[in-house]
Structure 1
Amino acid sequence: MQSPEAWPILVISVVGAVLLVEVVRRVLSRVGRKWALARHLVEHCTWPAFFVAVTVACNLVFAPGFFGESAGERSLAQTVDRVIALLTIGTVTWLIIQATYAMTDVVLDRLVLVEGERNRRARRIRTQIALVRRIAAAVIIVIALGAMLFSFPQVRALGAGLLASAGIAGAVVGIAAQPTIGNMLAGLQLAFSDALRLDDVVVVEKEWGRIEELTLTYVVLRLWDERRLVLPVSYFTTNPFENWTRHGSRVLAVVFLRVDWAVPVPKLRDALYEFLQGNPLWDQKDWTLQVTDVLPNGLVELRALMSAADSPSSWDLKCDVREFLVNFVRDNYPDALPRFRVETPETRVGVSWTGDHDRDGR
């Protein structure tokens, strides 16, 4: 017979566990204003903690004779007890993974704020932490699934047979999962060889963008126009690509200007330097303005080169400098604007040509 106190005890236990988690959540929320770990624990672990509280309370209170003492009732109680045990394993696994993410987020938040020369090392550590915690989550899930399976007596009885056939099964799975395993190994190679990091500026398939996400199987490249290019990790180990921030985040910005020969280069150079000194995007290190070429169409090619702290600053600095040079030449030296000259037979021999001449030259 079912005990009349069984259900009230179960309800009280579940409500008490939920209230305990809510108290802890409120305390961590207040502490989280000054303690980053507490804030991330609240963000990641609130719902997993509630589910763990409910399942653990049910697991502790529930008994085989909860529904009664008959054979059918005890069988039903055993089934419910096994389901609760599986849910407990699943929710505890969820909580452990989220707690791991919360602890690593504390480190990642600090690394995001790192700028300057230390930015490259910070991005490398961020990439490695992101991959390692994904691996840790995968391992935890596999262990949890194993614990769920071995909670069944039938599976434990088959353990010896599974171990005996593990070699054959492993070979079959290895052949079938060769591309996936290759991508995972390639992801680890990229992360720990420092060949590719989060926020690296790369050129892939003639597309310029930044590494937005780097997982064990694929890489997401955020292009300059906000499109996303998704490539398998193995692509970066088997194909060449440009990495503009391989040894540092500092980037050189280049602006080309085609003008007439009448342009006063020294004055333009002085004006550019004065403009750069007042532009916060310039890192106060490298700059130059040079005549790099004389084009076949009769124009002179000028190249302005400036350094910036990172690629976004470099792009904005290029646009600012290009706009400044165009406005400066147009407003101050309109004779230096691009123009095309045409030489006729009359001008070649020094004869002034006018429209009043007739066909006979009279």
Structure 2
Amino acid sequence: MQSYLVTAVVAFAAAAVALFLAAITHRLIRRFGRRSLLLTELTDHAHRPFQVAVTVLAVQLGVRFSTGYAIGTPWRKVLLHFLVLCAIATAAWLVASLLVVVEDTALARFRVDVPDNRHARRVRTQVVMLRRLTIAVIVILTVGVMLMTFPSVRGIGAGVLTSAGVVGVVAALAAQSLLGNVFAGLQLAFSDAVRLDDVVVVEGEWGRIEELTLSYVVVQIWDDRRLILPTSYFTSKPFQNWTRTEAAVLGTAEFDVDWAVPVQIMREELRRLVEGTELWDGRVCVLQVTDATGGTVRLRALVSAADAGSLWDLRCLVREHMVAWVRDNRPTALPRMRTELGDADSNLPWQWVQPRRPTRRTTDAEVPDDARVFGGSDDGDARSEAFVGPEETRP
């Protein structure tokens, strides 16, 4: 009974001293680290695991030295073993919290709430992936170390190590899909193929990378649905990444109209429209005739926006406005089917058409920028140099 009381008193005293020292350390770090982001993160996130780890370690030392004269008592062995397990678990908790503090401090230097945040999103993706990997490794190592404290488990482990090759092969075959996704997640994190908040098109769906883990990727679709795909999908199948190099993108709006459409006037109307909306980023505004078959003329309006969401709204605005403009101002340009009923010998008066006076054609030097995609402006010249090839290969 006397040994029990001595052990209890020493354990409570050790715990009290440890809590007091942890509180003093916490106050000192908070006071002298007000201007340091690292120290502030330490006081906010690492204080609790540090307090628990120091207390458990102090109690363990107190119990060990206070019962030195009763080495053979069974309760002492059980209690010390339990305290060792607690010390291992709290030490792992402290290490994990320190790693989280370091990662959060590193992430604070890279802001993602700015327009040009490609580099920040890449760093954030890599740090998040490393955080999850390191925490998983710490948990696995902690469980392994705790199991190795049992003598029976150590004996079994020696036999297992002799056949580690066979076990490794069997485990690799059994977890082939899981390991493939893990390595695919690491490849995505460090290859810069996809990052958090990237706008992608996968499986015919347009959305944003919301979450990126070692085993799966969550894509937030534009209508707030979630598309969950394994990470190996992005390393084995093609997908569109609209924001890999920059957020600014181009988009089209196509119209099938009659041959009587005044292209230049319609081009001027498109320019007036985009200049009056904040959705346009001022880079590209082009209207071209891309096809002229089947009794209709196909016009394609190419516009640019600062991001994918603005581009979608801008394309819809261009379609809506240009359709209304053709209907109200150029009704003869609406698509229609022509049928001629007349004399095969062309003897009817309406079949005789007087030739019109020749009109002066616009020279190449006079072609406006709104009629060119690959030229006519600095952005168009740069695009022309990037897409060198036959004309039929261009969009």
TM-score range relative to shorter protein: 0.7 to 0.9
Post-superposition shift, 1:58?
A: 2.2
Measured in 1, the distance between the counterparts of 2:226 and 2:36 equals 35
- Name the residue aligned to 1:254: 252
- Name the residue aligned to 1:108: 107
Aligned to 2:144, what secondary structure does the other structure show? helix
Q: TM-score, normalised by structure 2?
A: 0.71
Measured in 2, the distance between the counterparts of 1:10 and 1:227 equals 55
Measured in 1, the distance between the counterparts of 2:265 and 2:33 equals 57
Match of 1:144 among 142, 145, 161: 142
Post-superposition shift, 1:223?
A: 1.2
Measured in 2, the distance between the counterparts of 1:343 and 1:271 equals 27
Larger deviation, residues 144-153 vs 22-31: 22-31
Post-superposition shift, 1:214?
A: 2.0
- Name the residue aligned to 2:187: 189
Measured in 2, the distance between the counterparts of 1:55 and 1:229 equals 45
User: Cα 1:306–1:344, aligned 2, differ >3 Å: closer, same or farther?
Assistant: closer
Post-superposition shift, 1:288?
A: 1.9
Match of 1:312 among 302, 309, 314: 309
- Name the residue aligned to 2:365: none
Query: What whole-Å deviation, never above 9, does each CA across 1:309-355 have from its counterpart, x for those lacking one?
Result: 3323433444555565567678xx4554996657788999999xxxx
Post-superposition shift, 1:99?
A: 1.8
Q: TM-score, normalised by structure 1?
A: 0.76
Post-superposition shift, 1:225?
A: 1.5
Post-superposition shift, 1:93?
A: 1.0
Query: What whole-Å deviation, never above 9, does each CA across 1:67-90 have from its counterpart, x for those lacking one?
Result: 99596xx32232122122112211
**Identity among equivalent pairs (%):** 42
- Report matched runs for 1:224-243 at 5 Å: 224-243=222-241
- Name the residue aligned to 1:208: 206
User: Cα 1:59–1:32, aligned 2, differ >3 Å: closer, same or farther?
Assistant: same
Q: Partner letter of residue 104 of structure 1? A: E
Query: What whole-Å deviation, never above 9, does each CA across 1:144-169 have from its counterpart, x for those lacking one?
Result: 22221222233334453232122222
User: Cα 1:339–1:135, aligned 2, differ >3 Å: closer, same or farther?
Assistant: same
Larger deviation, residues 264-273 vs 175-184: 264-273
Query: What whole-Å deviation, never above 9, does each CA across 1:190-218 have from its counterpart, x for those lacking one?
Result: 33333222222222211111222222221
- Name the residue aligned to 1:217: 215
Measured in 2, the distance between the counterparts of 1:32 and 1:278 equals 51
Q: Partner letter of residue 125 of structure 1? A: V
Measured in 2, the distance between the counterparts of 1:144 and 1:78 equals 21
Contact 2:7 2:66 (8 Å CA) reproduced:
no
- Structure with larger RCO (C-alpha < 8 A, sep 6+): 1
- Name the residue aligned to 1:359: none
Larger deviation, residues 1-10 vs 198-207: 1-10
Aligned to 1:162, what secondary structure does the other structure show? helix
Contact 1:114 1:122 (8 Å CA) reproduced:
no
User: Cα 1:316–1:40, aligned 2, differ >3 Å: closer, same or farther?
Assistant: farther
**Residues 1:54 and 2:55 aligned together:** yes
- Name the residue aligned to 2:88: 89
User: Cα 1:50–1:245, aligned 2, differ >3 Å: closer, same or farther?
Assistant: same
- Report matched runs for 1:1-362 at 5 Å: 1-2=2-3, 4=5, 6-22=7-23, 24-25=25-26, 34-63=35-64, 69=70, 74-113=73-112, 119-256=117-254, 265-277=263-275, 279-293=277-291, 301-319=298-316, 321-322=318-319, 325=322, 333-334=328-329, 336=331
Measured in 2, the distance between the counterparts of 1:93 and 1:236 equals 33
Query: What whole-Å deviation, never above 9, does each CA across 1:9-49 have from its counterpart, x for those lacking one?
Result: 43343344345445555565667764333444345434433
Contact 2:125 2:196 (8 Å CA) reproduced:
yes
Query: What whole-Å deviation, never above 9, does each CA across 1:66-122 have from its counterpart, x for those lacking one?
Result: 699596xx32232122122112211221221222122112333333438566x4444
- Name the residue aligned to 2:362: none
User: Cα 1:344–1:313, aligned 2, differ >3 Å: closer, same or farther?
Assistant: closer
Contact 2:49 2:90 (8 Å CA) reproduced:
yes
Measured in 2, the distance between the counterparts of 1:327 and 1:92 equals 69
Larger deviation, residues 28-37 vs 178-187: 28-37
- Ranges in structure 1 where 5+ consecutive residues have no aligned partner: 352-362
Contact 1:2 1:67 (8 Å CA) reproduced:
no
- CA root-mean-square deviation: 3.9
Aligned to 1:245, what secondary structure does the other structure show? coil
User: Cα 1:344–1:180, aligned 2, differ >3 Å: closer, same or farther?
Assistant: closer
Measured in 1, the distance between the counterparts of 2:163 and 2:83 equals 31
Measured in 2, the distance between the counterparts of 1:324 and 1:210 equals 28
Aligned to 2:171, what secondary structure does the other structure show? helix
Contact 1:263 1:336 (8 Å CA) reproduced:
no
Measured in 2, the distance between the counterparts of 1:109 and 1:337 equals 60
Contact 1:204 1:242 (8 Å CA) reproduced:
yes
- Ranges in structure 2 where 5+ consecutive residues have no aligned partner: 351-395
- Name the residue aligned to 2:366: none
Measured in 2, the distance between the counterparts of 1:82 and 1:216 equals 35
Q: Partner letter of residue 307 of structure 1? A: S
- Name the residue aligned to 2:367: none
